[in-house]
Structure 1
Amino acid sequence: MKQRQWQGWGPGEQAEQQHYLVQPRALAGGGDIRHVSEFLRASGWRDKSKTCGPLLMESPDRTVRVAYDPYILPGGWTIHGRTGAKGEWSAHLGLQTPVEIVAGLTDALTRPRSAHAPSVWEPLQEQNWHTRFADQNYTATSPDGAAWMQYRQDADGSAMWWTGAKDEEGNGWTAHFTPNTPMHLVQAFSTELAGPDPVMRPRGRVPHSAQIRTWSVSVKPSQLSAWQQARITAARAATWARSSTRGTRPRTTARPHTPTGGARTRR
């Protein structure tokens, strides 16, 4: 474990909380689910959760639901959506899926789809993941061998996206997506899965694994709050911008026709 001085406040301020930067992020453990839920709430999603019950968030157009339930087996995240031509799709992510990786998918639900054709494999290849094709399965594996992303197709024709991460002791998580899950969402997930940056976990929430690297960092509670608020503020700003754009679109109603030669009144 390495000690790292966290830069971010002025001289004389005293750090009050011990946290750890964890790498690789895929083995960092679940984290605080508010990283996902507060961003969705700031993006205009409705909180449909029952008191003391599992988390349930619904999109403004009611076509997508994001749920987190730690009280059932195997528990974890369920994202369920409806699309026009392709019908329903769903994604199921285990309890220990890092919230930063979950947010890759859920944040993308709040944004307009890019005009560029999505590629699930491109973000992985950019981070030097190893890819191979065998038995109708296309698989990408992280350089350290801990995480994977696979499109698998069985002999009966059924297919799905399967992904996850495990250390040498078998601790970790798995997730799967139905094959009709919108590709740009799967790409957003794979981008965060392969992200090289470490994620932060508080003391006592760092998994015990020989395959992770950690750096001790000291941060002020106000600093943590500011980072969280910056993410929420960004979500609100993007939501406001989209609403403003919709509200200021030019009208498509044709103007009244003025006959040729007719009198016009100047103002």
Structure 2
Amino acid sequence: MKKTQWQGWGPGEQAEQHYLIQPRTLAGGGDVRHVSEFLRASGWRDRSKTGGPLDLESPDRTVRIAYDPYVLPGGWTIHGRADGANGEWSAHLGRQAPVEIVAGLTDALTRPLTAHAPNVWAPLQEQTWHTRFEGKDYIATSPDGTAWMQYRHDPDGQAMWWTGAQDKQGNGWTATLTPNTPMHLVQALSAELASPGPVMRPRGRVPTSAQIRTWSVSVRPSELSAWQQARITAARAATWARNSAPSTRPRTSARPHTPSGGVGNRR
């Protein structure tokens, strides 16, 4: 192993203080590279301009992902163009959406569809989220009441997916997805939204909130690098496997799942 690749190995390496945070929905944005480096390793093209917002394009040029922290409200924009199987769709996630939750959706863009019909609500119900109808809208709320997933209608009757989290001090984020967003992507997002596992943030990047729980941990820089590299290596391996063994299965478009009742620097 080259020393230049793993700077910091050895007895002189100093551990740094980090914090594990629950619930993950209120952990703050995190390191954008958690999303971007995985996509680059999966063969996505980097179209970002020097000093400008992040701009990535899928290998087949059907999806663009941008992250812009320089404008208000800023955040993530994911846009899928219409093709033979799907209509145009988009998703917008605020700047404070945790990168681990954003990656639930963006990682899923790099994986082939499975034969199983998506169910957006199943990951939430498995974690005892409260699901219910409110008029025409179908809503799932986290056990602590700080996070939600909704299939809702605006005053004009336009349907959308709406999700996010907010503490009692008003800190948090929201995300909207057009109703024709592929259901397997919405399910991947809901699975990360509902995950009970904590996420880690460095000292100085922990939100001030009465609704979060934190645990202090000491982490060596080499450990962080190894964890990040493992994620990148997994993306490269999956990409190589897909490109080496072309699928013989025809492309399919996942049908929306509706609840019973009819609701349908380098970053």
CA distance in 1, matches of 2:115, 2:12: 46
Q: Which residue of 2 aligns with 1:18?
A: 17
Give 3-state SS (helix, strand or coil) of 2:60's partner. coil
- Aligned 1:1-267 pairs, distance under 5 A: 15-82=14-81, 83-154=83-154, 156-246=156-246
TM-score (ref. length: structure 2): 0.86
Give 3-state SS (helix, strand or coil) of 1:22's partner. strand
1:104 aligned partner, one-letter code: G
- Following superposition, the deviation at residue 98 of structure 1 comes to 0.0
Post-superposition Cα deviations, 1:64-123, rounded to whole Å, max 9, x if no partner, equal 001000011110000000242432100000000000000000000000011100000000
Structure number, greater radius of gyration: 1
Post-superposition Cα deviations, 1:154-186, rounded to whole Å, max 9, x if no partner, equal 464310000000000110000000000000000
Q: Unpaired segments of 5 or more residues in structure 1?
A: 1-11, 250-267
* Residue 52 to residue 154, structure 1, CA distance change in 2 (3 Å): closer
Identity %: 79
2:29 aligned partner, one-letter code: G
- RMSD of aligned C-alpha atoms? 1.9
* Residue 119 to residue 13, structure 1, CA distance change in 2 (3 Å): farther
1:77 aligned partner, one-letter code: W
CA distance in 2, matches of 1:134, 1:21: 35
CA contact (8 A) 1:136 1:154 kept: no
1:194 aligned partner, one-letter code: A
CA distance in 2, matches of 1:37, 1:49: 11
- Following superposition, the deviation at residue 247 of structure 1 comes to 9.0
Give 3-state SS (helix, strand or coil) of 1:87's partner. coil
- Following superposition, the deviation at residue 16 of structure 1 comes to 1.6
Give 3-state SS (helix, strand or coil) of 2:119's partner. coil
* Residue 116 to residue 247, structure 1, CA distance change in 2 (3 Å): closer
Q: Unpaired segments of 5 or more residues in structure 2?
A: 1-10, 250-267
Aligned residues: 240
CA distance in 2, matches of 1:248, 1:91: 30
CA distance in 1, matches of 2:157, 2:247: 45
TM-score (ref. length: structure 1): 0.86
CA contact (8 A) 1:78 1:93 kept: yes
Post-superposition Cα deviations, 1:120-170, rounded to whole Å, max 9, x if no partner, equal 000000000001101100000000000000000246431000000000011
CA distance in 2, matches of 1:197, 1:156: 38
1:210 aligned partner, one-letter code: A
1:161 aligned partner, one-letter code: W
